[in-house]
Structure 1
Amino acid sequence: MTPETAAAEVDAAPKPSWARGALHRGLVALPLVAGLATAGWLVVGRDQPATPTVPAQAALTAPAAPTGPSGPSVLQASAPVRAQEPAQGAAGGGGSPLQKWADSLAGPLDIPAPQLVGYANGELTLRKERPGCHLSWVTLAGVGEAGNDHGRRDGTPLGLSTAQFQKYGSDIPGIAKPALTDPSSASVAAGRALCASGVDLTAGNGWWKAVAGYQNGSGMELFRQRVLGYAQLYATISLAPAKSGAPSVRATRFALGQLGLPYVWGGNGPDAGAAGFDCSGLTKASYDSAGVSLPRTADSQFRALPHVPGGQEPQLGDLVFYGSPATRIHHVGLYLGNGLMVNAPTEGQAVQIHTFHTPGDDYAGAGHPAD
């Protein structure tokens, strides 16, 4: 009996009232953060084969369970897709095109308009200073979310240290007195820090290297995954802001909020009394948070949902499945876009972002829970 089969037998927990996400609710993820660099995070280039790792340090946090197939555990280096272009114009004051652009996206993205103006100014400034870097405002927005929820937690945009700002925050074009708490000053400084090594941020390896260098330490891998996840989400929403309240977007936001929680066999998440999730527990909880009820196991979810036509790329929020359609589906993840998914892979690994389909895996197709 595999973990996913057994999970059907523990589906007795009541449906919780889901909040924004575990990482925003408190300190649930902190016991795992110190071990994430060696606890199942696996990053490879597009042309490099890899196999999943399950070190003993992380395995201590997961319950014993029968062995069985798990989901994909490879994250190929990736950069967020192109987003809606920021409007050209003045720095954002009054009724400038840039201010109007920020005002139109602030609600759909759940980012304060002043922060959006700052992120856009960061991109526009770095276009002139480092045109080969190709910095996008969505990368800055991902850093802003991962750093301190766009300044909401401590008022310092992008989580810049004083030392970083002193190094990169002087002489900001159009700003007489740059300040660490000013979104545009901070965004330009952050952009300079990301572009300092001469990388091209449209290339996966360059983007990954730049974000890794932005924040070092024990929490770096979780930080980098959160930047990638939210940057990808913001890029997608920016191209279709009217869909920002759709169940698929709400479910994706929830799933991203669980990054760093442990895989727990049969787990339905902290609101249901578990430290983390198994794969179908995560997808079910994500859609519960959006008001869409799914069956509990990966196999039952696969058979209950309308399928995405073969050869067609899944869309944001679609579920991606692994196993044999004729016999049993053993794993499921939530599609993020750009070839990425959020999933709870297996014992010893945290909820994280992985590449959803690589040669030789047993990808079985995608299902569409809701728009």
Structure 2
Amino acid sequence: MTTKPTSWARGAALRGLVALPLVAGLVTAGWLLADRTPEPAPAPAPPLPTAAGAASGPSVLEVSAPVKAQEPGQGASGAGGKTPLQQWADQLAGPLDIPANALIGYANGELALRGEDPSCHLSWVTLAGVGSAASNHGRGGESLLGLSAAQFKKYGASIPGVAKPAADDPSSASVAAGRSLCAGGTDLGAGAGWWKAIASYHPGGEAELFRQRVLGTAQLYATLSLDPARAGTPSVQAARFALGQLGLPYVWGGNGPDAGAAGFDCSGLTKASYDSAGVALPRTADSQFRSIPAVPPSQEPRLGDLVFYGSPATRIHHVGLYLGNGLMINAPTEGQAIQIHTYHSKGDDYAGAGRPA
């Protein structure tokens, strides 16, 4: 099964991300400590205590900015007539699945803000994440970066190197969006500043979902920009599929809308993600843990790896898909949406990672 281009428009009922309040720099979310199999089962046990030393699953998203990405090219045109920036965009457009003109615009946004507001630390991957969430990089017939007329009037009046700035010009829109994100002395290189800026950029009922989508895609772009040859691998295809399910509800035994369910449970999501990439996995978290090669404990998981929770000796009760930078794509429990969490925190019962492909 494949991710449908219209998957973000399946309706508010399926995309209602549970509100995640910021508390002491953390976005908190619940966690159910019971293995969720696709067959009917007795009522789940209540969550275990989360005091130090108690076994528990991950329960927070530690707000963080996407990691550093490949630098945009700079300089004059070479022998072939293309600038280093054009060459850079041509190299990454296919692996990232971003039109080259949009990618050049995002890079110009970063480069312009480096000069105007270097303390903001705006990265092109943040703009690319916003462009993906707002308009699928202009493919959705909407404003590339979701700028309102008022935003563009305020921030896009004068754009370096552009004689007549326009909201439908990728460079104009990217510089204007960057100025909006950096307004008020924001530091986008710090997690708290990044998270707050994205929320302010897109307020409203779907602000939490928007932030998660921006964070997830920006992190994916950052990782792939440093290793574009991985773009066509099953692990990256699985990660793209899982990101496409953000906002769908957790459904016990759920295998997703294509299988007639409103959403997924944890192992249903990981199985469907790898099914979309042509890799077959068993259905439950425990069976997935025992059927795929383990990642050595000394190594951090990499994009597309599965991360497991529970006891390897007895029972694995939960699984998520690793995104990078300490983040996982997670179908947590009833009453919550598929979302991004920090994969490993003090006191949880992280059991290790596995590599399906």
Q: Structure 1 length normalisation: TM-score?
A: 0.87
1:234 to 221, 226, 246: 221
AA in 2 matched with 1:257:
G
Residue ranges of structure 2 left out of the alignment (5+ in a row): 33-39, 48-55
Counterpart of 2:10, as a letter, is V
Is contact 1:40-1:348 (8 Å) kept? no
The answer to whether residue 241 in structure 2 is matched with residue 254 in structure 1 is yes
Over the residues paired in the alignment, what is the CA RMSD in angstroms? 2.3
How much has 1:50 moved relative to structure 2? 5.2
2:104 — aligned with what? 117
Aligned ranges 1:39-78 → 2 under 5 Å:
39=18, 41=20, 43-45=22-24, 52=30, 66-68=43-45, 71-78=57-64
Residue 86 (structure 1) aligned with residue 86 (structure 2): no
TM-score using structure 2 length: 0.90
Give the AA of the match of 2:20. Answer: W
**What 5-or-longer segments of structure 1 have no aligned partner?**
1-17, 55-62
Deviation at 1:202, TM superposition (A): 1.1
CA distance in 1, matches of 2:138, 2:273: 25
Q: Distance in 1 between matches of 2:297 and 2:344?
A: 13
Amino acid at match of 2:60: V
Counterpart amino acid of residue 24 in structure 1: T
Counterpart residue number, 1:59: none
CA distance, structure 2, for counterparts of residue 204 and residue 64 of structure 1: 40
Deviations 1:199-227 (A, max 9, x none): 21111101101111100000100000000
Aligned to 1:3: none
Pick closer, same or farther for the CA change 1:311–1:53 going to 2, 3 Å: closer
Contact 1:41–1:349 (Cα < 8 Å) also in 2? no
Structure 2 CA distance, aligned partners of 1:145 and 1:51? Answer: 25
Q: Tell me, yes or no, if the aligned pair for 1:71 and 1:346 is still in contact at 8 Å.
A: no
- The residue aligned with 2:52 is none
Stretch moving more, 321-330 or 92-101:
92-101
1:364–1:162: structure 2 CA closer, same or farther, 3 Å change rule? Answer: same
Q: SS in structure 2 opposite 1:152?
A: coil
* Structure-1 separation of matches of 2:265 and 2:246: 13
Q: Distance in 2 between matches of 1:136 and 1:309?
A: 32
> How many residue pairs are counted as aligned between the two chains?
340
> Partners of 1:86 and 1:30 in 2: how far apart?
37
Q: Which amino acid aligns with 1:77?
A: V
Letter paired with 1:19 = T
Check if 1:148 corresponds to 2:135: yes
The equivalent residue for 2:10 is: 28
Change (3 A) 1:329 1:211: same
Instruction: Please say if residues 118 and 185 of structure 1, whose CA atoms lie closer than 8 Å, have aligned partners that are also in contact.
Output: yes
1:94 Cα offset (Å): 5.5
| Secondary structure class of the residue paired with 1:353 | strand
Work out the CA distance in 1 between the residues paired with 2:275 and 2:217. Answer: 20
Q: Structure 1: how far apart are the matches of 2:27 and 2:268?
A: 29
Kindly indicate whether the alpha-carbon contact (under 8 Å) linking 1:71 and 1:332 is maintained by their aligned counterparts in 2: no
Match of 1:291 among 278, 295, 303: 278
Distance apart, 1:27 and its partner CA: 3.2
Q: 1:184 to 1:198 in 2, by over 3 A?
A: same
User: Aligned-pair distance for 1:78?
Assistant: 0.8
| Cα-to-partner distance string for 1:11-63 (whole Å, 9 max, x where unaligned) | xxxxxxx1225x73363252154x53xx25354556x6956289xxxxxxxx9
Q: 1:138 to 1:162 in 2, by over 3 A?
A: same
Letter of the 2:65 counterpart: A
Local SS of the residue matching 1:120: helix
Q: Which residue type is aligned with residue 264 of structure 2?
A: F
- The answer as to whether partners of 2:130 and 2:145 remain within 8 angstroms in 1 is yes
Contact 1:142 1:230 in 2 (8 A): yes
For residue 132 of structure 1, what is the aligned residue in structure 2?
A: 119
Specify the alignment match of 1:13 in structure 2. Answer: none
Distance across 2 between alignment mates of 1:50 and 1:145: 25
Among 307, 331, 336, the alignment partner of 1:320 is: 307
- The alpha-carbon distance between structure 1 residues 335 and 19, as it changes in their structure 2 partners (threshold 3 A), is same
Instruction: Report SS of the residue matched to 2:340.
Output: strand
Which letter maps to 1:218? G
Q: Is the 8 A contact 2:30 2:332 kept in 1?
A: no
1:96 is displaced (CA, Å) by 1.0
Partner-residue secondary structure (3-state), 2:88? helix
* Aligned twin of 1:177: 164
Given that 2:269 and 2:331 are in contact with CA atoms closer than 8 Å, whether structure 1 keeps it comes out as yes
Take 2:208 and 2:183, find their aligned partners in 1: how far apart are those partners?
Answer: 20
Aligned to 1:243: 230
**Aligned sequence identity (%):** 71
CA distance in 1, matches of 2:332, 2:31: 11
Q: Structure 1: how far apart are the matches of 2:11 and 2:28?
A: 26
Distance 2:313 2:31 in 1: 29
Counterpart of 1:272? 259
